[in-house]
Chain A
Amino acid sequence: MWAVVTVVFVLLHAAGDPIAVLAPETMTQAQRAELAHSLGLDLPLSAQYIHFLDDVLHGHLGVSFYTSQPAMELVLQRLGVTVELVVAAMVVALVFGVPFGVIAALRPGRFLDRSLRLISVLGSSIPTFFLGILLILIFSVELEIFPSSGLGDWRNFVLPAFTLAFYRIALFTRLIRTALIGELSQDYVRTARAKGLSEIVVTLKHALRNALLPFVTAFGLQFGQLLGGAVITETIFALPGMNRLALDAIARLDYPIVVAYVIVIAGLFTLINLAVDIAYSFIDPRVTYG
């Protein structure tokens, strides 16, 4: 955590002088100096760093340079939207990606497999901003089914969730397909079939369970990546997520918000890794904690 916070501090100070961005063009030098002093930005860098570490250690992440609201509060206010968006996207990716992968694995080389392969090539090659705007044009401007932007009810999440999910659907389809084809040729599958188990049970209960292990790792990684990587989607769909807040804060060199954001993201990553490890133990009984 110390390393993360220090890197952020150094990078932000290398990025430029916040006063130059904060102060309007019309402010005099004397007024600028006064402003810098009121924010503690007139101190030498080393002193600023010590103050900064001291504040972080005591849980004071400071107040945004632009408002009187605490930086952590601003970030946490927007955490919910980002989490909802990412969960929605991961659920969509799961609901489509896993069945697609299974379908493709059951009939490799056939029509369904080939059309799903087309989808996964598209999914991994279409840039997010393009897909997002395409979906807006089709579903909100032409068909008027879903709203194009902002918060409202669950409908507002449909387009952004699909935008984010598209690449993950492609990824999961390919992962599951490869793993499942490997498993289906294993001996234990033949044994299960020989026992007279139905094809559904053989595929979904025995083979798929083993095929899920690499998938769970990828799922966790993608989940974490999306929490910090949904910034383009949040911007296109004008969702008040924390990534967009952080992007705006970086552009304005509003350090306290950026630091709060990085701490939240780092914490979430740790939590997700923990969740992935726990999930392992459910899927693979050989993995135990004790």
Chain B
Amino acid sequence: MSRIVLRFLVAVVLSVLVFVPRTASSQARPGDSASSPLVIAYNGGAVTLDPIMRAENTSYAWQRHIFETLTIQDPKNGTPQPRIATSWKIVGQNRWRIELRHGVKFQNGRAMTSQDVADSIMDAATNPKAQIRNFLVTVSKVDPDGPNAVIITTKTPNPQIPLDLSQIPVMPEVEIKRDGRGFLDTHPIGTGPYEFVSWLAQDHLDLRTWNGYWGPKPAFNYVKLDNISNGATRLAALLSGQVQVAEKIDPQDFDRVKHSGTAYITAVGGVRIIYLAMDQWRKTGTPGVPGGNNPFMDARVRRAVYQAIDVNALRDKIFGGAAVPATQWVAPAIESFDPSLKRLPYDPAASKKLLAEAGYPNGFTVRLDATTDRYLDDSTVAQALAGMLAQAGINIQVNAVTKTIFFPNMDKGDFTLYLAGWGTTDAISAWETVFHCRDNAAGYGFTNREHYCNPSADQTMARAASIFDPHFRIQAERQGYAIAERKDFAYIPLYWEDVIAGVNNHVAWESRPSDELILAWMMSRK
């Protein structure tokens, strides 16, 4: 009866279905034109382009195409290398003289002055919203010294100043004073190899090479930094050639990338250590321990936990090899790393013996707090640890929550045993924040929530912090850390997270373990 209606409707639907558009097939090489830029996909996007307002890697990475830091870390060993600062030396008590590069201009054409540099450092040190102030706590003032140098005066001797300057961007302070900081988010101007074209906060940033740059011209003229926070989409975009570099590829997908014929994986052990932290100051009544007594007061228990963990299994089963079992806090990409320190063997029998000696022949029960969304596979690792520790008789209840709940609770001291991570830039600042006896007045140990305290180790590190000769300083640092690592078992090292990226076969890029940044101007064609 209604055959005509039927035919009519089916025809409409089919005609819509059949109409299939084609994407324009491979035009220009990526990076050659504004319509076909080199695209880098990050897991997240910069929240702000104001280079001192967000201490977080994606923000750093996006900002540092436009802005330049005074020094830059060597990708392999983390030592400071020249950038805007070309050389540095001590000139008297607590005074550093920093020589500046000639011929540097801002992207509005104005020549950079030593006053810009001096003001940038003080801006980063004193702005209450600045998130990189911790790198400059020792700095009391900065003065221009002629047109091409500044003098940095510190409150206490600080041999680390050149390294700290690798975090400090040079900003157009004249324009900031004149117009306010707002333009840093709408149309930032720096001294870097790329200039700003357009952006949408947390989504994408379009860039093109800037002709007035003092240094070599990057291989890719047009670059788009993109936020693709879903891992499966990021992988798909890499495999389909829509993006040329994609960070943080899931280790489970390594084989897909390797067999795709379009891309390869670069995975290098980074500086972020994942570790177990244990309360070491409340003898009784610590949260999450039924029965009252805090077993972690005894170093033998802490060592028992250490030896009950099979880190190689975590690396192979969870990370597909993309993690490095940690022998110590300080990672190999930092100069103070001690290659002679080896990891204690995995030995559940030894753990049981240590527990028995410490008065826990039948083990004990404790809650393990962890995040679900902060570190690579964090809650999976916590579950795996619970299984391993059960073998040694330690009964673990995992409590994994989102980071906005976890970190405030951690600050309140609600945890006895928890899974944590720390990206170390240098041995001394990590010691002063994480391991130093808590001293709020002096600003030491403010993230030492476990209240680990060994005054003689603190003394060794304080001595190290004032040694200007790198060789002797590193020796002292290794001595200090050895006490926390092997005498006190102040924490339990697990592994260093790998810095991972998938890269198109036509682009040459290797992950930077020291600062983990992905930077287009360091890439080349191949």
Q: Which residues of A contact B (CB under 8 A)?
A: 15-17, 20-21, 23-31, 34-35, 37-39, 64, 66-69, 74, 77-78, 95-96, 99-100, 102-103, 106-107, 112, 133, 136-137, 140-141, 144-151, 155, 158, 198-200, 203-204, 235-238, 240, 245, 248, 251-253
- A204: chain B residues at CB < 8 Å are 5
Known: A141-B239, A148-B237, A235-B230. A103 touches B6 (CB 8 A): yes
A107 to chain B, nearest CB (A): 7
Inter-subunit contact A136/B232 (CB<8 Å): yes
Contact of B404 among A21, A67, A103, A235 (CB under 8 A): A21
- B8: chain A residues at CB < 8 Å are 200
Of A26, A78, A141, which is in contact with the most chain B CB atoms at under 10 Å from its CB? A26
Inter-subunit contact A238/B4 (CB<8 Å): no
- B131: chain A residues at CB < 8 Å are 23-24, 27
Known: A141-B240, A147-B242, A148-B237. A20 touches B411 (CB 8 A): yes
- A17: chain B residues at CB < 8 Å are 408
B340, CB-defined interface residue at 8 Å: no
Q: Which residue of chain A has its CB nearest to the CB of B241?
A: A144
Inter-subunit contact A38/B129 (CB<8 Å): yes
- A137: chain B residues at CB < 8 Å are 236
B413 to chain A, nearest CB (A): 13
- A20: chain B residues at CB < 8 Å are 404, 407-408, 411
- A27: chain B residues at CB < 8 Å are 131, 133-134
- A78: chain B residues at CB < 8 Å are 200
Task: Spot the interface stretch: B45-53, B69-77, B108-116, B151-159.
Answer: B45-53
Could you tell me the distance between the alpha carbons of A38 and B129 in the complex, rounded to whole angstroms? 7
- A15: chain B residues at CB < 8 Å are 404
Inter-subunit contact B10/A103 (CB<8 Å): yes
Inter-subunit contact B128/A34 (CB<8 Å): yes
Known: A67-B201, A148-B233. A99 touches B404 (CB 8 A): no
Q: Which residue of chain A has its CB nearest to the CB of B446?
A: A28
B83, CB-defined interface residue at 8 Å: no
Inter-subunit contact B240/A145 (CB<8 Å): no
Could you tell me the distance between the alpha carbons of A127 and B483 in the complex, rounded to whole angstroms? 53
The 5 A-B residue pairs whose C-beta atoms are closest, nearest first, are: A240-B203, A24-B55, A67-B48, A26-B134, A20-B408
Contact of B5 among A106, A112, A146 (CB under 8 A): A106
B22, CB-defined interface residue at 8 Å: yes
- A25: chain B residues at CB < 8 Å are 422, 433, 447
Could you tell me the distance between the alpha carbons of A78 and B199 in the complex, rounded to whole angstroms? 12
- A136: chain B residues at CB < 8 Å are 232-233, 236
Contact of B128 among A37, A99, A146 (CB under 8 A): A37
Q: Which residue of chain B has its CB nearest to the CB of A101?
A: B9
Known: A66-B53, A67-B50, A238-B227. A28 touches B134 (CB 8 A): yes
- B497: chain A residues at CB < 8 Å are none
Supplied contacts A147-B242, A235-B230, 17 more A-B pairs, CB within 8 Å: A24-B134, A26-B429, A35-B129, A68-B50, A69-B186, A74-B201, A96-B16, A144-B23, A147-B240, A149-B233, A149-B237, A198-B4, A200-B4, A204-B5, A236-B233, A238-B203, A240-B204
Could you tell me the distance between the alpha carbons of A38 and B182 in the complex, rounded to whole angstroms? 17
Size category, B interface:
35 or more
Contact of B4 among A23, A39, A112, A199 (CB under 8 A): A199
Inter-subunit contact A100/B13 (CB<8 Å): yes
B160 to chain A, nearest CB (A): 14
A229 to chain B, nearest CB (A): 17
- A30: chain B residues at CB < 8 Å are 443
- B202: chain A residues at CB < 8 Å are 240, 245, 248
B250, CB-defined interface residue at 8 Å: no
B316, CB-defined interface residue at 8 Å: no
B363 to chain A, nearest CB (A): 32
Of B242, B402, B429, B433, which is in contact with the most chain A CB atoms at under 10 Å from its CB? B242
Inter-subunit contact A31/B53 (CB<8 Å): no
Of A68, A74, A96, A199, which is in contact with the most chain B CB atoms at under 10 Å from its CB? A68
Known: A25-B422, A99-B12. A69 touches B201 (CB 8 A): yes
- A144: chain B residues at CB < 8 Å are 23, 240-241
B28, CB-defined interface residue at 8 Å: no
Inter-subunit contact A106/B6 (CB<8 Å): yes
What are 12 A-B pairs with beta-carbon distances under 8 A? A15-B404, A20-B404, A24-B134, A30-B443, A103-B9, A141-B236, A148-B240, A148-B242, A200-B4, A235-B229, A235-B230, A238-B226
A147 to chain B, nearest CB (A): 6
Could you tell me the distance between the alpha carbons of A248 and B58 in the complex, rounded to whole angstroms? 14
Could you tell me the distance between the alpha carbons of A211 and B402 in the complex, rounded to whole angstroms? 47
B349, CB-defined interface residue at 8 Å: no
A72 to chain B, nearest CB (A): 14
- B506: chain A residues at CB < 8 Å are none
- B236: chain A residues at CB < 8 Å are 133, 136-137, 140-141, 148-149
Inter-subunit contact A240/B237 (CB<8 Å): no
Inter-subunit contact A155/B21 (CB<8 Å): yes
Q: Which residue of chain A has its CB nearest to the CB of B47?
A: A66
Inter-subunit contact A133/B4 (CB<8 Å): no
Inter-subunit contact A238/B185 (CB<8 Å): no
Q: Which residue of chain A has its CB nearest to the CB of B48?
A: A67
Contact of B440 among A29, A95, A133, A151 (CB under 8 A): A29
Could you tell me the distance between the alpha carbons of A170 and B134 in the complex, rounded to whole angstroms? 56
- A248: chain B residues at CB < 8 Å are 202
- A198: chain B residues at CB < 8 Å are 4
B267, CB-defined interface residue at 8 Å: no
Could you tell me the distance between the alpha carbons of A69 and B2 in the complex, rounded to whole angstroms? 59
Inter-subunit contact A145/B22 (CB<8 Å): yes
- B443: chain A residues at CB < 8 Å are 28, 30
Contact with A along B134-153 (1 / 0, CB 8 A): 10010000000000000000
Inter-subunit contact B2/A145 (CB<8 Å): no
B463, CB-defined interface residue at 8 Å: no
Could you tell me the distance between the alpha carbons of A96 and B15 in the complex, rounded to whole angstroms? 11
B54, CB-defined interface residue at 8 Å: yes
- B237: chain A residues at CB < 8 Å are 140, 148-150, 238
Known: A67-B201, A145-B23. A102 touches B232 (CB 8 A): no
Q: Which residue of chain A has its CB nearest to the CB of B202?
A: A248
Could you tell me the distance between the alpha carbons of A64 and B227 in the complex, rounded to whole angstroms? 19
- A240: chain B residues at CB < 8 Å are 200, 202-204
Inter-subunit contact B227/A67 (CB<8 Å): no
- A199: chain B residues at CB < 8 Å are 1-2, 4-5
B259 to chain A, nearest CB (A): 13
Contact of B228 among A141, A149, A200 (CB under 8 A): A149
B253, CB-defined interface residue at 8 Å: no
Known: A141-B240, A238-B230. A147 touches B2 (CB 8 A): no
B357, CB-defined interface residue at 8 Å: no
- A16: chain B residues at CB < 8 Å are 404-405, 408
Inter-subunit contact A236/B239 (CB<8 Å): no
Could you tell me the distance between the alpha carbons of A27 and B129 in the complex, rounded to whole angstroms? 11
